[in-house]
Amino acid sequence: MERIQVGHLYPNAVAPVQPKQRPASAGSPSGVQTGKATFQDILQSHIVRFSHHAEVRLKQRGIQLNNDQLTKLGSAIDKAASKGAKDSLMLLDGTALIVNIPNRTVVTALDGASMQEHVFTQIDSAVIIS
């Protein structure tokens, strides 16, 4: 199959003017940004991610989070983001989670026993989730 070039379609004329498109968004399947949030954008903004380090710590410490806790964590991340937080200590049902707010990523997790006399550094906020 031959590729059609602009010159082939309009040999004696100027090619039609194409409207400028914004750069394609990563989550948009068509590659055209419409100004409205796509389903993928909305989904990504509500997902709580776990870093590899956090996953290892959760397994080591026997911490399991259920859907209700993940929903509460997502809401807490939204609230922290609205206040301008970047890295937050979140206390949820006896578990401490360090969360990178802009990336919605849990960086590490500690259970009650691991929190004893533990100093948390490089955080700019703390959220107690009830």
Which domains can be identified in the chain, with CATH numbers?
14-46 (no CATH), 48-129 (3.30.2310)
Query: Residue 45 and residue 48: Cα distance in Å, rounded?
Result: 8
pLDDT at 114: 84
In the Cβ-directed half-sphere of 111, how many Cα atoms lie within 13 Å?
11
pLDDT at 19 over 80: no
| For range 72-95, the mean pLDDT | 95
pTM over 0.75: no
Between 36 and 73, the more confident residue is 73
Q: What is the pLDDT of residues 104-129, one digit of tens each?
A: 999 999 998 888 878 999 999 999 99
| Sequence-ordered list of residues with C-beta below 8 angstroms from that of 69, at least 6 positions apart, any chain | 92, 93
Is the distance from CB of 81 to CB of 101 less than 8 angstroms?
yes
